[in-house]
Amino acid sequence: MKVVVGLSGGVDSAVAALRLRREGHELQGLFMANWAEDDSYCTIADDYQDARAVCRELDIPLHRVDFAEEYRQRVFDYFLTEYRAGRTPNPDVLCNREIKFGVCLEHVRRLGGERFATGHYARRIEGADGVELHKAIDLDKDQSYFLHALELPQLQAALFPLGDSRKAEVRAEARAAGLPVYDKPDSTGICFIGERPFREFLAQYVIENPGPIETAEGERIGTHRGLAFYTLGQRGGLEIGGRRGHEEAPWYVARKDLARNALVVVQGHDHPLMQTHWVKTGPMHWLIDPPSAPFDATVKLRYRQPDQPCRVEPQADAGMELRFESPQRAVTPGQFAVLYRGTRCLGGAVIESL
């Protein structure tokens, strides 16, 4: 099979390529440069050299493509729009749908590739009724949350060679094969933007709009920089300090009052104002036939959260109302609610309201 593997310069995509090479596929590597190399936080140059070194070791050709313009138009503009609206988006979901399995998959086709492989920890399974997306065996590394927005044809074209493996096994395999990136640290930055001080980065694009920091009772106890710079459940960076008449306990962001440009904070990790019993989503993206009747499932309201049992109730506007068995802490509009039945990902949607 003619396969193109997306190489990031990291160990996961390198081992994905190694396995495909050993399976005898006609293999090519593809490195995507999706962000301008404009500062010290951008690692694209180093990552490209690492990808080249892996391809030399595996004796496969490497192509380099630049999707920076598409990334800004399809992902980064959305990212900024959501932050300016006081929400907290997850750009990695859109990056997978619009870039990696969007314009990049189109380029893979132009290269003659039948399938596009990545180093994602997820499983693509051929079910009785077609292709299915499932969690990886290594639940600590599972990335199906970030892949839930793929269209079924995109998923059909994908290969995830690491889905049945654990991260420790992948590193050991890379070391045994002599891959030069076997001990390279995992990237934890936002998509292709890199690992940098986030507030400093966001301030380049979002104008500060100071307003009051208030308690749940309406007492003003500080001033915020702008609602875009805070997220629900946040503890650090509030610059409140000790306040007369209040306990010596941490403050947490509980609400954003957009109409008044006020940030509402509370003391106590599990304060009632931070608990949510239900949420409303935007239009659902389904990886199954869209259900018309309520049903039970589990949901992740953010990446790495353990699955939470919920009742899913379809709405007339194509969204869902999710009611939880147990109250959920710091649920954040703009993030994605992703549904599962066992290991199978059913689809997901943006959280709109609490």
12 vs 193, more confident? 12
Count of CA atoms in the C-beta half-sphere (13 A) of 186: 10
Tell me the average pLDDT of the chain: 93
**What is the reported pLDDT for 267?**
93
Identify which of 340, 351, 349, 350 has the alpha carbon closest to the alpha carbon of residue 132.
340
- Which pLDDT does position 199 carry in this prediction? 81
- The yes-or-no verdict on residue 128 having pLDDT over 60 is yes
Where do the structural domains in the chain lie, given as residue ranges? 2-198, 209-269, 274-353
Identify the pLDDT of residue 277: 97
The structural architecture, per CATH, of the domain 274-353 is Beta Barrel (2.40)
Secondary structure (H, E, C), 202-222: HCCCCCCCCEEEEECCCCEEE
Bridge partners of residue 295, in order along the sequence: 312
Q: Going by C-beta distance under 8 Å and a sequence separation of 6 or more, which residues neighbour residue 215?
A: 221, 246, 264, 265, 266
Residue 3, pLDDT score: 98
Query: For the residues 324-353, what does the mean pLDDT come to?
Result: 97
The phi and psi torsions of 94 (rounded to 5 degrees) equal -65, -35
Query: What gap in Å lies between CA 123 and CA 158, rounded to an integer?
Result: 10
Q: What number does CATH give the domain 2-198?
A: 3.40.50.620
pLDDT at position 71 is 94
On whether the CB atoms of residues 311 and 296 are closer than 8 A, the answer is yes
pTM across the whole model? 0.94
For position 34, what pLDDT does the model report?
A: 85
How far apart CA 21 and CA 55 sit, in angstroms, is 11
Predicted confidence at residue 231, as pLDDT, reads: 95
Percentage above 70 pLDDT, the chain: 95
282, two tokens = 């935007």
Q: How confident is the model at residue 44 (pLDDT cuts 50, 70, 90)?
A: confident
What pLDDT, on the 0 to 100 scale, is given for residue 107? 97
| pLDDT of the residue at 113 | 98
Query: How high is the pLDDT of residue 244?
Result: 74
Angstrom distances, CA of residue 107 to CA of 4, 79, 101, 246: 10, 24, 10, 59
Instruction: Please compute the mean of the pLDDT values over residues 87-103 and round it to a whole number.
Output: 95
Residue 104 banded pLDDT, cuts 50, 70, 90: very high
The pLDDT of 283-307, averaged and rounded, is: 96
Residue with tokens 């729009």: 81
Task: From residue 216, give the alpha-carbon distance in Å to each of 221, 259, 263, 266.
Answer: 11, 16, 10, 6
pLDDT recorded at residue 180: 95
* 209-269 CATH: 2.30.30.280
Nearest to 92 by CA among 190, 205, 231: 190
Q: What is the pLDDT of residues 136-168, one digit of tens each?
A: 999 999 999 999 999 999 999 999 999 999 999
Residues tagged active-site: 95, 191
pLDDT at 353: 86
Query: pLDDT at residue 259 above 90?
Result: yes
pLDDT tens track for 163-209: 999 999 999 999 999 999 999 988 766 655 556 678 888 999 999 99
